């Protein structure tokens, strides 16, 4: 009954680290405090040990992760290329919110890490329960992906050296 | 060992609460969408359902009561015995000697008929007698359902918390597919049951126009619809109340006794008419409605469906048959995921 209490009697706690972190993620931009706490209620907080895989390349993909604290590297285990090293407040794996393609790279915790998982099934539930909020998130997600596409195009347009 | 029956009744209550939760979950989710309050959604949905349920059961009991009263008066009159006697003679005459000899003498038939009727009434009465404990169980199921409906998404989240990181995403997919499987199955079944109920009511109404004199047709239709939820045997169970009521109402009437379909096939008390009507309803349901609304809801082979039903029926009885198909559907999802995990363990 704890969540019943939280739902109706307890005021939104802005000092909640999950809410604070989610607020700064572009995908959850422009959400009201109430909406943000609705999203937070659907997310899953997970802890990972150092060197533990968050997911492996080609594994079935179900959703995105936001780093609460710790460090995660995105890497291609076949070629040992490190694409990015991400820290607190960063997010990865958001493409999986939209399609069911397998992971294109591996994610490994390089330090003990606490992550917030937001999965496709949660997004689908949210779209059913609160379509307005679901649409906001989808629009933000499209913005993030569009921005990334634009950047890739610019990279490609650069004359090769 | 003494704790076992106690535990099984609690598990039964939880199973029913979970079932109701799955049935009402989507409706509560959609009300929450407009009212922004989940508790209000649960209250609206459950109170409406309870009100309809109470009205239905209440009027069914009172109607059944007056039906039984009428019938008891009829039985006490002389013509009941003569009517049964006439029936047995007419059946005997229409059959070849070899089979006719197997049918007991008229007096014995009257005795059997009376005993069967008394037996039915007694079981109805004892059912009413157990209403006390039934009320308690219903109350507990209601409480569990309210809690499950309000807290459903949080319960699911707590369940996910216990999953190891390695299996998190596969586990989430499994939960989602199980939910999808159950809700698809339930929605299909509810739609199919309602269509069978409506078609049966229409069929009984038509039979009444032909003089079948069947009362309580709405209740008979709804019972047939509900019985239809049990695959394969359900449709036959659905016919029984209609046949019983036709017998009760028409006993003593010579026209009903000598009724013939198309003026040639004997159908005493419209029994054959009722059976044919239900078979037509079944055919419409099986060939047009179910494929449309249920589709390949659980995707089980017909042979597997039969086996699963047999296992469910043997282990738990009619209730087992009711739950056999969705449980098999869930097991199929779980097995598919387990096979996937074992084949792709290097990816997890």
Q: Write out the DSSP string of A77-111.
A: TTTTEEEEEE-TT-EE-GGGGT--PPPSSEEEESS
Question: What is the per-residue pLDDT for B53?
Answer: 87
Cα separation values, B240 from B119, B136, B220, B234, B271, Å? 15, 29, 9, 10, 10
Residue A88, in any domain of the structure = yes
Beta carbons of B32 and A129 less than 8 Å apart: yes
Residue A98, in any domain of the structure = yes
Whether A16 contacts B308, CB under 8 Å: no
CATH number at residue A97: 2.60.120.10
Beta carbons of B29 and A131 less than 8 Å apart: no
Beta carbons of A128 and B169 less than 8 Å apart: no
Whether B216 contacts B206, CB under 8 Å: no
Residue A9, in any domain of the structure = no
Note whether B79 contacts A: Cβ–Cβ < 8 A: no
Residue A101, in any domain of the structure = yes
Query: Strands B265-266 and B260-261, how do they pair?
Result: antiparallel
User: In which domain, by residue range, is A120 found?
Assistant: 15-147
Residue A5, in any domain of the structure = no
Whether B137 contacts B14, CB under 8 Å: no
Note whether A42 contacts B: Cβ–Cβ < 8 A: yes
Q: What is the pLDDT of residues B199-217, one digit of tens each?
A: 999 998 998 888 777 888 8
Which helix (H) or strand (E) is B265 found in, with range? strand B265-266
b/e B195-229 (16+ beta carbons within 10 angstroms → b)? bbbebbbebbeebeeeebbbbbbbbbbbbbbbbbb
* Among B205, B248, B198, B250, CA closest to B224: B198
Query: Strands A63-69 and A113-119, how do they pair?
Result: antiparallel
Q: What is the pLDDT of residues B264-304, one digit of tens each?
A: 777 777 888 888 899 999 888 877 777 776 555 666 777 77
> Which residues on A lie below 8 Å from B39 (Cβ)?
8
Q: How many domains does the structure of chain A reveal?
A: 1
The set of residues, in sequence order, having a beta carbon less than 8 Å from that of B76 and lying 6+ positions away, is: none
Residue A154, in any domain of the structure = no
Residue B305's pLDDT band, with cuts at 50, 70 and 90, is confident
pLDDT at A11 over 70: no
Shortest CB distance from A62 goes to which of B33, B166, B172?
B172
Percent of chain B predicted with pLDDT > 70: 84
Q: How far is B157 from chain A (nearest CA, A)?
A: 7
Beta carbons of B169 and A4 less than 8 Å apart: no
Cα separation values, B14 from B7, B11, B18, Å? 11, 5, 6
Task: Please give the residue that has the higher pLDDT: either B187 or A10.
Answer: B187
Residue A8, in any domain of the structure = no
Q: What is the pLDDT of residues B141-150, one digit of tens each?
A: 999 999 999 9
Residue A40, in any domain of the structure = yes
Q: What is the pLDDT of residues B328-344, one digit of tens each?
A: 888 888 888 888 888 87
Q: Please, which residues 88-147 of chain A have a Cβ atom closer than 8 Å to chain B?
A: 102, 117, 119, 121, 124-125, 128-131
What's chain A's Rg over C-alpha atoms?
Answer: 17
């Amino acid at each position: 009954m704890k969540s019943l209490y939280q739902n109706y009697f307890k005021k939104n706690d802005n000092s909640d680290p999950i809410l604070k972190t989610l607020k700064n993620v572009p995908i959850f931009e422009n959400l009201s405090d109430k909406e943000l706490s609705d999203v937070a209620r659907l997310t899953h907080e997970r802890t990972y040990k150092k060197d533990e895989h968050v997911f492996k390349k080609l594994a079935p993909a179900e959703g995105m992760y936001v780093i609460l604290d710790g460090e995660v590297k995105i890497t291609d285990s076949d070629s040992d290329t490190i694409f990015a090293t991400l820290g607190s407040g960063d997010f990865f794996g958001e493409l999986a919110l939209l399609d069911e393609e397998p992971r294109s790279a591996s994610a490994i915790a390089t330090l003990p890490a606490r992550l917030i998982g937001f999965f496709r099934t949660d997004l689908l539930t949210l779209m059913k329960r609160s379509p307005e909020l679901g649409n906001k998130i989808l629009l933000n997600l499209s913005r993030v992906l569009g921005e990334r596409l634009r950047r890739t195009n610019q990279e490609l347009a650069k004359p090769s050296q | 060992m003494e704790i076992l029956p106690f535990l099984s009744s609690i598990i039964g209550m939880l199973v029913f609460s979970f079932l109701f939760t799955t049935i009402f979950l989507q409706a509560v989710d959609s009300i929450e969408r407009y009212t922004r309050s989940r508790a209000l959604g649960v209250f609206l949905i459950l109170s409406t359902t309870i009100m309809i349920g109470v009205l239905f059961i209440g009027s069914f009991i009172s109607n059944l009561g007056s039906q039984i009263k009428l019938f008891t008066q009829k039985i006490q009159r002389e013509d009941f015995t003569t009517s049964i006697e006439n029936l047995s003679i007419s059946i005997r005459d229409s059959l070849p000697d070899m089979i006719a000899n197997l049918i007991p003498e008229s007096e014995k038939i009257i005795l059997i008929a009376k005993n069967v009727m008394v037996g039915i009434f007694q079981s109805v009465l004892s059912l009413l007698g157990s209403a006390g404990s039934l009320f308690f169980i219903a109350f507990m199921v209601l409480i569990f359902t309210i809690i499950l409906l309000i807290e459903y998404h949080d319960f699911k989240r707590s369940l996910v918390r216990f999953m190891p990181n390695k299996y998190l995403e596969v586990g989430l997919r499994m939960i989602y597919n199980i939910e999808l499987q159950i809700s698809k199955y339930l929605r299909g079944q509810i739609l199919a049951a309602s269509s069978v109920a409506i078609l049966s009511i229409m069929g009984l109404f038509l039979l009444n126009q032909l003089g079948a004199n069947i009362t309580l047709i709405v209740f008979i239709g709804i019972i047939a619809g509900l019985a239809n939820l049990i695959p394969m045997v359900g449709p036959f169970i659905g016919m029984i109340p209609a046949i019983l009521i036709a017998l009760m109402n028409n006993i003593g009437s010579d026209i009903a006794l000598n009724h013939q379909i198309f003026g040639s096939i004997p159908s005493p008390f419209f029994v054959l008419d009722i059976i044919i009507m239900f078979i037509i309803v079944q055919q419409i349901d099986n060939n047009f409605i179910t494929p449309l609304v249920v589709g390949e809801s659980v995707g089980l082979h017909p042979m597997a469906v039969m086996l699963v039903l047999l296992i469910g029926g043997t282990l738990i009885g009619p209730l087992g048959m009711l739950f056999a198909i969705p449980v098999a559907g869930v097991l199929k999802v779980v097995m598919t995921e387990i096979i996937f995990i074992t084949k792709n363990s290097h990816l997890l």
